[in-house]
């Protein structure tokens, strides 16, 4: 015995047609604004529709147009401002082209991602944008391609698949920023990332994320070209929750030959790393230099302001959505998806390492 009784049936074209004294077909034409309709009929139908406050059922409409005007977006974690911003770019752009967005979070879980893609496909979205958790585990993406539905990848590539992908070229900045650290005197540079990996890093292990792979490669090259070698023991994975990040940070900072600089591979990691550094009563950049990926507003507010690698996240969201819409509308995808570049923004969290005999008053270098 619910309060408002049975759920009232929605008004349909048939209802409107009856009220306007015309056939269903005519009503549909007047409402859908297609075909030939006399002025008289059009007016009566529109009036009746208004009167009954008729609203078309988009589900029904989608069913026989085959278009749902909806795109699916699969990301690892909207809570992460990185994705928040990208999502903003996607939704803004999608809206402009008349598309709505179904958003699914995967927590960077493979199975959740596979499910998400399937659900979206089942819902017959017009296309999907996926930030894949893994670059190698890609059957589900392959399936999307097979289904013929437009797909654009964001942030990370998928090995061996021919898919429009919007990414940042990372090797370059990784190289540049590592050179920067090396020139400041750092040799023991730690890199902390969320990437899940069963084995510790060493040359040749296949990394499951194109993004991370590029960053590490850039670092490696910088060391190489300086006649040095990348300290592989400081390249760390599995930095999941705050606790594990804290542990990793303590580890690299307290080991016998500790890191003198730490690079956090995203904004969320950075938060916990900085906290851990503060807990150890170390100060930046006097005791440890710090550098992070993602330029969030708060990085300018800390003391010192943090040196970051800025990525055009919003623009990438926009580009991904544009590429997808282009595919949906049947235009060929841009021959080559534009490659974005990241930028090193030198603020004051990088200094001269203690060990290397720096002056007692370590000036942040620029």
Partner DNA sequence: CCTACGATTGAGACCGGACTCACAGTGGGT
Partner DNA sequence: ACCCACTGTGAGTCCGGTCTCAATCGTAGG
| Rounded Cα gap, residues 125 and 299, in angstroms | 37
Q: Half-sphere exposure of 261 toward its Cβ, with a 13 Å CA cutoff?
A: 30
What φ, ψ does residue 132 adopt, rounded to 5°?
-65, 140
| Rounded Cα gap, residues 288 and 263, in angstroms | 11
Binders of DNA: how many residues, by CB under 7 A? 32
29 binds, among a copy of itself, DNA, none (CB under 5 to 8 A by kind): DNA
Residue among 205 and 242 whose Cβ is closer to a copy of itself: 242
344 binds, among a copy of itself, DNA, none (CB under 5 to 8 A by kind): none
In angstroms, what is the minimal distance from the CB of 43 to DNA?
A: 10
* Environment class of 339 (CB within 10 Å of its CB; exposed 0-12, middle 13-18, buried 19+): exposed
In angstroms, what is the minimal distance from the CB of 27 to a copy of itself?
A: 17
Residue among 88 and 196 whose Cβ is closer to a copy of itself: 88
- Report if residue 25 touches DNA, rule: CB under 7 A: yes
| H or E element, residue 216 | helix 210-225
| Rounded Cα gap, residues 83 and 5, in angstroms | 43
In angstroms, what is the minimal distance from the CB of 38 to a copy of itself?
A: 27
In angstroms, what is the minimal distance from the CB of 62 to a copy of itself?
A: 5
363 binds, among a copy of itself, DNA, none (CB under 5 to 8 A by kind): none
Q: Of 18-26, 102-110, 284-292, 337-345, which segment contacts DNA by CB under 7 A?
A: 18-26
Eight-state DSSP code of residue 280:
T
Interface positions with a copy of itself (CB under 8 A) = 2-4, 7-8, 10, 55-60, 62-63, 68, 70, 77-79, 81, 84-85, 87-88, 91-92, 95, 100-105, 118-119, 121-124, 147-148, 271, 274-275, 278, 296-298, 300-303, 330, 332
In angstroms, what is the minimal distance from the CB of 282 to a copy of itself?
A: 14
Residue among 37 and 74 whose Cβ is closer to DNA: 37
In angstroms, what is the minimal distance from the CB of 89 to a copy of itself?
A: 9
35 binds, among a copy of itself, DNA, none (CB under 5 to 8 A by kind): DNA
* Environment class of 252 (CB within 10 Å of its CB; exposed 0-12, middle 13-18, buried 19+): buried
Nearest alpha carbon to residue 75 among 112, 104, 100: 104
8 binds, among a copy of itself, DNA, none (CB under 5 to 8 A by kind): a copy of itself
Nearest alpha carbon to residue 117 among 101, 108, 128, 107: 128
Site for DNA in 52-71 (CB under 7 A): 54-57, 60-61, 63-65
- Report if residue 19 touches DNA, rule: CB under 7 A: no
38 binds, among a copy of itself, DNA, none (CB under 5 to 8 A by kind): DNA
Nearest alpha carbon to residue 11 among 3, 140, 318, 24: 24
In angstroms, what is the minimal distance from the CB of 99 to DNA?
A: 17
Q: Of 49-57, 149-157, 219-227, 299-307, which segment contacts DNA by CB under 7 A?
A: 49-57
| Rounded Cα gap, residues 154 and 157, in angstroms | 7
Q: Are the C-beta atoms of 187 and 260 separated by less than 8 Å? A: yes
**One character per residue 101-120, x = contact with DNA (rule: CB under 7 A):** --------------------
Eight-state DSSP code of residue 265:
S
154 binds, among a copy of itself, DNA, none (CB under 5 to 8 A by kind): none
C-alpha 306 chain-centroid distance: 22
Residue among 114 and 170 whose Cβ is closer to a copy of itself: 114
| H or E element, residue 261 | strand 261-264
Tokens representing 125 are: 């979205």
Tokens representing 341 are: 């570049």
- Report if residue 148 touches DNA, rule: CB under 7 A: no
Residue 48: how many other CB atoms lie within 10 Å: 22
Tokens representing 253 are: 């900072």
Positions in the binding site for DNA (CB under 7 A): 9-14, 22-26, 28-29, 31-32, 34-41, 54-57, 60-61, 63-65
């Amino acid at each position: 015995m619910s309060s408002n009784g049975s759920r009232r049936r929605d008004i349909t074209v048939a209802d409107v047609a009856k009220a306007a004294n015309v056939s269903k077909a005519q009503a549909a034409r007047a409402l859908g604004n297609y075909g030939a309709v006399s002025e008289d009929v059009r007016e009566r139908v529109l009036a009746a529709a208004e009167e009954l406050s008729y609203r078309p059922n988009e589900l029904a409409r989608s069913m026989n147009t085959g278009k749902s005007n909806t795109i699916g977006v699969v990301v690892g974690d909207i809570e992460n401002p990185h994705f928040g911003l990208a999502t903003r770019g996607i939704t803004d752009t999608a809206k402009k082209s008349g598309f709505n967005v179904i958003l699914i979070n995967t927590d960077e879980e493979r199975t959740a991602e596979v499910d998400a893609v399937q659900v979206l496909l089942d819902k017959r979205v017009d296309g999907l944008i996926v930030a894949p958790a893994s670059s190698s585990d890609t059957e589900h993406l392959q399936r999307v391609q097979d289904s013929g539905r437009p797909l654009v990848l964001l942030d990370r590539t998928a090995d061996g698949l021919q898919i429009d992908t919007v990414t940042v070229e990372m090797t370059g900045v990784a190289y540049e920023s590592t050179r920067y650290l090396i020139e400041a005197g750092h040799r023991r540079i730690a890199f902390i990332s969320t990437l899940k990996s069963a084995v510790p890093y060493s040359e040749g292990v296949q990394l499951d994320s194109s993004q991370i792979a590029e960053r590490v490669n850039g670092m490696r090259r910088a060391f190489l070209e300086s006649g040095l070698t990348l300290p592989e023991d400081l390249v760390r994975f599995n930095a999941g929750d705050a606790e594990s990040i804290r542990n990793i940070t303590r580890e690299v900072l307290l080991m016998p030959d500790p890191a003198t600089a730490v690079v956090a591979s995203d904004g969320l990691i950075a938060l916990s790393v900085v906290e851990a550094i503060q807990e150890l009563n170390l100060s930046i950049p006097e005791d440890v230099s710090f550098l992070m990926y993602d330029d969030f507003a708060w990085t300018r507010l800390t003391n010192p302001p943090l040196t970051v690698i800025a990525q055009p996240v919003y623009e990438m969201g926009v580009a991904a959505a544009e590429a997808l819409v282009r595919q949906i509308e049947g235009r060929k995808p841009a021959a080559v998806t534009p490659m974005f570049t990241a930028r090193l923004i030198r603020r004051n969290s990088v200094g001269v390492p203690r060990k290397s005999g720096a002056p007692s008053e370590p000036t942040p270098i620029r």
